[in-house]
Structure 1
């Protein structure tokens, strides 16, 4: 995977936001004098990535479970996986396009967040199909769901990456490059796409995960080494925040908007591309193998793109038993 050093350092240098402090002992993780376990949690600035973290803070869930969380924004999932591997992060959030990294053993999926249908292949006005991108410059953040949807769209059109000129770019660079006409197309996602539309209102969505079909899970991840006591606490926080989100959809949008410092309308638009599930549903789907099937399907796809040499069993990187134990209260 190609990744710029500047992009990685930039992501790690984003100032963290300190959240709640608690007073409860823990058997692993860094603890302060009061016994609180300190964790560093990464997220992407969208409804999926920010929602549960915002709720956990607003509802005092970190404190309830003996955790103190500082959160940092990252531009994509792969950079968070790298940060986990270098010890600069304890937990993170990734979209479906980065699931190939846990599948290679670089991280563990501790919980599924949502099913997302926010990814699109877009083209400049006048290009009306994926086939119309043949031979043209298409920007994509490598290793992300932007690359995933581009691969899916090309496959459906009977094409491959060799039929286009792929240009590896950071997500924010895609926004400016597309707006200035430096690239003809892009693999990108909402809510960034809303920003691009403001600059190029005539752009064409030539492919979407919604139209292509399938299930595209987003996930919360930890480092490759399982830290059972701390992981259980984090899962409990995420599970309770998830149920609060299910019961209070409008308030959840407001909480995410406050954290992201954007309008509630923007977050509501972003949330329209997301399917949330209750914790009970996620537990049931973990127990009956549905979640494993989602992950297996993703791994099979990544074998086809060459990002994986072979598809591993989902239980090799999804801590299913730990999730059901912690979330199945």
Structure 2
């Protein structure tokens, strides 16, 4: 059942570091790089948003073109990548909208906006047909992620708060297994993980979605606070060129992403259907006219309301828009 569509800003007004589950490299030698080549360590989440530009960068030889070598590690969410950046175990990473509070709190820098995503949902076991039906029920959610974000927003739409449910904090893979086994009654989670759950619970109920709530939910690439400026500019350029290749070649992008993730093309195509991509020129224009700042301001205001941020910082304190626009020139 769907909620009335309204803007995201209107809606706003009313873990120790985990081991990666897989790793790969753009170099046959494991990403060590050759003479004069800067090696970077890049984290990602195994979905279309997180992996497609990395797959394209490899296929199109973009790292080598810009004097870089990249090794990749897969993570289950954005917050643990931020931790890895802070501990020096990672140079760059990918986060969904639910983790934007972390760079906003000074723990990383957003170096590029990736996509706008509408993949997040609140789901429930069969028989629960509204958010009110979750009152007093066990709801699994990966804390600090877009799953928690959509759960908060959906509860607010229904005139409820987290106090009305029994929130069970767990990582995303555990949400999948727990819901499939009937150990929790609902979850704040996203596609493509929901497709995996549907294999066991095909009649699950989608109670709320990011698309129903409306507004703009940006995903982003992040770096550590002290990343080398020269390397950062090169990385941003790689991401921009890969981004434009993705925009021009959507079907081929799905194929390359599926190859990197070692999953079916159908699965990646379904995942990509929840994503809005923008060209680099569009992202530059939206950076320069303040639209990206508005997206980020909307997110940080929300995180203030949830207590994840004490105050909403200016977007230019954690989004390096000047680096992004300069790289595109």
Same fold (TM over 0.5): yes
RMSD: 1.4
Say if 1:150 and 1:217 are closer, same or farther in 2 by CA, change over 3 A.
Answer: same
Matched with 1:18 is 25
CA–CA distance in structure 2, aligned partners of residues 273 and 143 of structure 1: 21
CA–CA distance in structure 2, aligned partners of residues 214 and 141 of structure 1: 22
CA–CA distance in structure 2, aligned partners of residues 280 and 214 of structure 1: 21
Query: Is residue 109 of structure 1 aligned with residue 116 of structure 2?
Result: no
Matched with 1:60 is 61
Determine if contact 2:33/2:69 at 8 Å carries over to the other structure: no
CA–CA distance in structure 1, aligned partners of residues 63 and 28 of structure 2: 7
Query: Is residue 233 of structure 1 aligned with residue 234 of structure 2?
Result: yes
CA–CA distance in structure 1, aligned partners of residues 52 and 275 of structure 2: 12
Count of residue correspondences? 314
Q: TM-score, normalised by structure 1?
A: 0.93
Q: Where do 4+ consecutive residues of structure 1 move more than 4 Å?
A: 30-33
Q: Which runs of 5+ in 1 are unaligned?
A: 23-29
Superposition deviation, residue 214 in structure 1:
1.0
Query: Is residue 182 of structure 1 aligned with residue 183 of structure 2?
Result: yes
1:201-221 deviation line (CA, Å, top 9, x unaligned): 010000000001110000000
1:160-216 deviation line (CA, Å, top 9, x unaligned): 000000000110011110011110000000000000011100100000000011100
Matched with 2:219 is 218
Matched with 1:41 is 42
The 5 A counterparts of 1:151-230 are 151-230=152-231
Determine if contact 2:18/2:80 at 8 Å carries over to the other structure: no
1:5-49 deviation line (CA, Å, top 9, x unaligned): 4xx3423xx442120489xxxxxxx98551100000000000000
Superposition deviation, residue 226 in structure 1:
4.5
Matched with 2:12 is none
Determine if contact 2:123/2:207 at 8 Å carries over to the other structure: yes
Matched with 1:247 is 248
Determine if contact 1:42/1:73 at 8 Å carries over to the other structure: yes
CA–CA distance in structure 1, aligned partners of residues 96 and 267 of structure 2: 19
Relative contact order, higher structure (CA 8 A, sep 6+):
2
Determine if contact 1:113/1:218 at 8 Å carries over to the other structure: yes
Say if 1:75 and 1:31 are closer, same or farther in 2 by CA, change over 3 A.
Answer: closer
CA–CA distance in structure 2, aligned partners of residues 275 and 137 of structure 1: 32
Q: Which runs of 5+ in 2 are unaligned?
A: 1-14
Matched with 2:320 is 319
Determine if contact 2:26/2:58 at 8 Å carries over to the other structure: yes
Q: TM-score, normalised by structure 2?
A: 0.93
CA–CA distance in structure 1, aligned partners of residues 22 and 194 of structure 2: 25
CA–CA distance in structure 2, aligned partners of residues 65 and 174 of structure 1: 40
Determine if contact 1:21/1:36 at 8 Å carries over to the other structure: no
Q: Say which SS state the counterpart of residue 221 (structure 1) adopts.
A: strand
The 5 A counterparts of 1:141-156 are 141-156=142-157
Determine if contact 1:20/1:60 at 8 Å carries over to the other structure: no
CA–CA distance in structure 2, aligned partners of residues 318 and 59 of structure 1: 27
Q: Say which SS state the counterpart of residue 93 (structure 1) adopts.
A: strand
1:121-176 deviation line (CA, Å, top 9, x unaligned): 00000000111000000000000000000000000000000000000011001111
